[in-house]
Amino acid sequence: MKDILKNLATLVKVKTVVTFVVLAVFAVLALRGTLQPEFVMSVVTMVVAFYFGTQSEKTKPQTKE
């Protein structure tokens, strides 16, 4: 049970919330036809790449050079 609560706590960080809000806003605008699909795809790709890129950086072991 502690693991579940710990995972939920890490999920609700500011960066995660911002990422999901951006994705939701662009999805709604794209479905309404307000935005061009190419624009939506590029912005969503950047946000997702940034989110997962920073997540993978956290899991990499730090090495001294």
- The torsion of the CA quartet 52, 53, 56, 60, rounded to 10 degrees, works out to -170
The pLDDT of residue 48 is 78
* Contact (Cβ atoms closer than 8 angstroms) between residue 30 and residue 40: yes
pLDDT in tens, 3-59: 888 877 776 776 777 778 887 887 888 788 887 777 777 877 887 788 777 766 666
Please report which confidence band the pLDDT of residue 64 belongs to, taking 50, 70 and 90 as the band edges. low
